[in-house]
Chain A
Amino acid sequence: MTLEATAPEQTAPAREPVLSIKQISKGFGAVQALTDIEMDVYPGEVVAIVGDNGAGKSTLVKILAGVHTADSGQIFFDGRRVTIPTPAASRELGIATVFQDLALCDNLDVVSNLFLGRELGSGTLDEEQMEQQSWTLLRQLSAKIPSVRIAVASLSGGQRQTVAIARSLIGDPKIVILDEPTAALGVAQTAEVLNLVERLRERGLGVVLISHNMADVQAVADRVVVLRLGRNNGNFRVPDVSYEEIIAAITGATDNAVTRRATARPTQEVPEA
């Protein structure tokens, strides 16, 4: 189903970005959350968005997901200029978003959540088709969910994350946005999710990964876009950049709390890319 449906073509490096945003600004009352943000996402590329709390990462995600609309700026999708007024419009374009709070309905079962808003069947719901496709999809993701007919409330945090990511893949997206996908996960489940991110990239999807975890970012991302106080503050290719440089861009200073800790405790090795 979804994973096979997208042709696994590894396009040549000289290609058009599938998603390109130019000079996006967004204010909430007196607070300017985003100012002139620029970002490109190419097919088959994992772009990590990093930044401190309040840097505007979540606001940017919500604009792409159609939850908020930008005050100014342009969004290009597949070369066309688009507007994203609603979540439905975002999904129709081919942008699938997994929010940090997962946005699952606790009272519904796994199948209902996976297909929520895009149920199969004409007239009445085709529960059997949905249940079968749910199993196929969850098995592809090596998900460890015992039954798809239990309420999502009774699943663990990692299982809920898996359901949320699986849901984003229904409907053949071109871009998958993951907001802190590993924040609540154990070690093995984090590795699973990172594997999953790589599988999405192999299928030619553009992946936008928001993360606080530099180890995750350096493990899977191809490019890092740094936001600081609502502005672009760096755009690095992961192989060319060190941990310290990213931290410096995030905090806006080479002398910051993180580097001071690192020098104060030299036994703690900084993770390498």
Chain B
Amino acid sequence: MTATNTETPAERAADQQDERLILDEGLGGAIRSFGRRVRVGNLGSLPVVIGLIVIWAVFQILNPSFLSPDNLVNLSLQCAAVGTIAIGVVLVLLLGQIDLSIGSVSGVASAVLGVTFAQWHWPIWLTIIAALALGAAIGLLYGLLFARFGVPSFVITLAGLLAFLGLQLWILGPNGTINLPFSSWVVQVATSMFLPPWLAYTFSGIAVLVFLGSDWLRARRRARAGLSTGSRGLMLAKAALLLVVLVAIVAYLAQDRGVGVTFLLFVMLVVITNFFLTRTRWGRAVFAVGGSVEAARRAGIKVNRIFISVFILCSAFAALGGLLSAARLTAASNSSGTGDVNLNAIAAAVIGGTSLFGGRGSAWSALLGIFVIQSISSGLTLLSLDSSVRYMVTGAVLLLAVIIDSLSRRSRASHGQA
């Protein structure tokens, strides 16, 4: 029911006693309160979900094989590498900063993989650790430069873009391309390892149980603290919807090869990052610094540590993305991480709904945004259109996303919710 609060305050939970509150109860109320949020400009991930549906519908009409299981499995595999890089970009954007060197850092990581694994025959775990550590070290360098000298991250990472492209070429040496043995574990994982359907269903079930369990525990803690708990029906409806969606996705993809291990890794990284952003002190500090550096500093948050930790994570995610990409392409070359990798990762984060202005966004925008970008890319490839069109369309979508971000920001400001 939408009703202003007419009961006596003592009967209500501690957070619903104010008589000015508009209370939305039950399923219908949830929909109404969602509509109200959208009208004042708290769009969240709504534009990108609508955009994704439109894009899929258009490509499906133009080419009926677009939504085939085969193509969607390919799409999911293509998402993993750049999507992983985009998670790091989300973190940097939440601070209101930018990292332009993610492509080069991912290229360096793939070069390290090529040289140490294929040429020097290091064990694979040592190679992966070395590449990730190098990525983290690069992030540490950025963070220290930013915190120590206050150079804008735009400039630091622009310098990094050039410098680490050079490092990548230097590591690869004169040949420029190092092929990874196709039979190696890392290539197998990235190209042809898929979850068997029973395991994928099990994971879906676990995910729904965890989702429902955390909702239920939260409701119980809120009830114990004397706060409103929300409707139990809504909680169950959300869990049921999630179950249906996950099972439908798994069943559909299982008609082809199924859910790729690298895609699962990417989704799990998104979930873990989201958990750290929303449920820990560090995550709260990231949002606070993104909202107001000075306020965060005066609240006693060690702002420089937050900046450094985020730059480290961003570069480490970029390195991991580079490894995934090299493993999928079975080669490290001097073109790894160049071209559109950089801009696709940044565009994915922004298209997914993370604000360029800092303090607003979510790890899920990496997932949604990279879906949009790879869907465009995949759809245009199916239509036999070359990369010239792809660049133009992706550019237009990015522009649209930034315009939506700016418009919703202005709308929030005019509704007093900047």
Interface residues of A, Cβ cutoff 8 Å to B: 65, 67, 86-88, 91, 97, 99, 103-108, 112, 116-119, 123-125, 127-129, 131-132, 135, 144-151, 153-154
Q: Is the interface of A mostly helix, strand, loop or mixed?
A: loop
| B224 contacts A128, C-beta separation under 8 Å | yes
| A103 contacts B298, C-beta separation under 8 Å | yes
Give CA–CA (A46, B291) in the complex, Å. 33
| B21 contacts A108, C-beta separation under 8 Å | no
- Residues facing A in B274-314 (CB within 8 A) are 279-281, 284-285, 287-288, 290-292, 294-302
Given the interface contacts A108-B287, A117-B300, does A146 sit within 8 Å of B279 by beta carbon? Answer: no
B14 at interface by CB-CB < 8 Å: yes
Give CA–CA (A157, B205) in the complex, Å. 48
Q: Please, which residues of chain B bring their CB within 8 A of the CB of A118?
A: 300
- Determine how close the nearest CB of chain B comes to the CB of A172; give it in whole angstroms: 15
Number of A-B contacts (CB under 8 A): 102
B227 at interface by CB-CB < 8 Å: yes
Among the listed stretches B132-140, B187-195, B410-418, which one makes contact with chain A, having 4 or more residues with CB under 8 Å of it?
A: B410-418
* Beta-carbon nearest neighbor of A124 in chain B: B279
> Number of B interface residues, CB 8 Å?
38
26 A-B pairs (CB sep. < 8 Å): A65-B298, A67-B298, A87-B297, A97-B298, A103-B292, A105-B292, A105-B295, A107-B291, A112-B288, A116-B295, A117-B300, A124-B279, A125-B284, A128-B218, A129-B225, A131-B225, A132-B14, A132-B227, A135-B14, A146-B18, A146-B21, A147-B21, A150-B417, A151-B417, A153-B416, A154-B416
Q: Please, which residues of chain B bring their CB within 8 A of the CB of A119?
A: 281, 284
- Residues facing A in B1-17 (CB within 8 A) are 14-15
Interface residues of B, Cβ cutoff 8 Å to A: 14-15, 18, 20-21, 218, 221-222, 224-227, 279-281, 284-285, 287-288, 290-292, 294-302, 359-360, 412, 415-418
| B415 contacts A154, C-beta separation under 8 Å | yes
Given the interface contacts A119-B281, A132-B227, does A108 sit within 8 Å of B288 by beta carbon? Answer: yes
Q: Please, which residues of chain B bring their CB within 8 A of the CB of A132?
A: 14, 225-227
Q: Please, which residues of chain A bring their CB within 8 A of the CB of B290?
A: 107
Give CA–CA (A224, B18) in the complex, Å. 39
| A153 contacts B300, C-beta separation under 8 Å | no
Give CA–CA (A104, B296) in the complex, Å. 8
Q: Please, which residues of chain B bring their CB within 8 A of the CB of A146?
A: 18, 20-21
Given the interface contacts A119-B281, A147-B18, does A105 sit within 8 Å of B227 by beta carbon? Answer: no
| A153 contacts B298, C-beta separation under 8 Å | no
Given the interface contacts A105-B288, A125-B279, A125-B284, does A117 sit within 8 Å of B21 by beta carbon? Answer: no
- Determine how close the nearest CB of chain B comes to the CB of A158; give it in whole angstroms: 14
Contact of A116 among B296, B412, B416 (CB under 8 A): B296
Give CA–CA (A127, B299) in the complex, Å. 18
* Beta-carbon nearest neighbor of A62 in chain B: B298
Q: Please, which residues of chain A bring their CB within 8 A of the CB of B221?
A: 128
| B280 contacts A123, C-beta separation under 8 Å | yes
| B279 contacts A108, C-beta separation under 8 Å | no
Give CA–CA (A132, B224) in the complex, Å. 10
Q: Please, which residues of chain B bring their CB within 8 A of the CB of A147?
A: 15, 18, 21
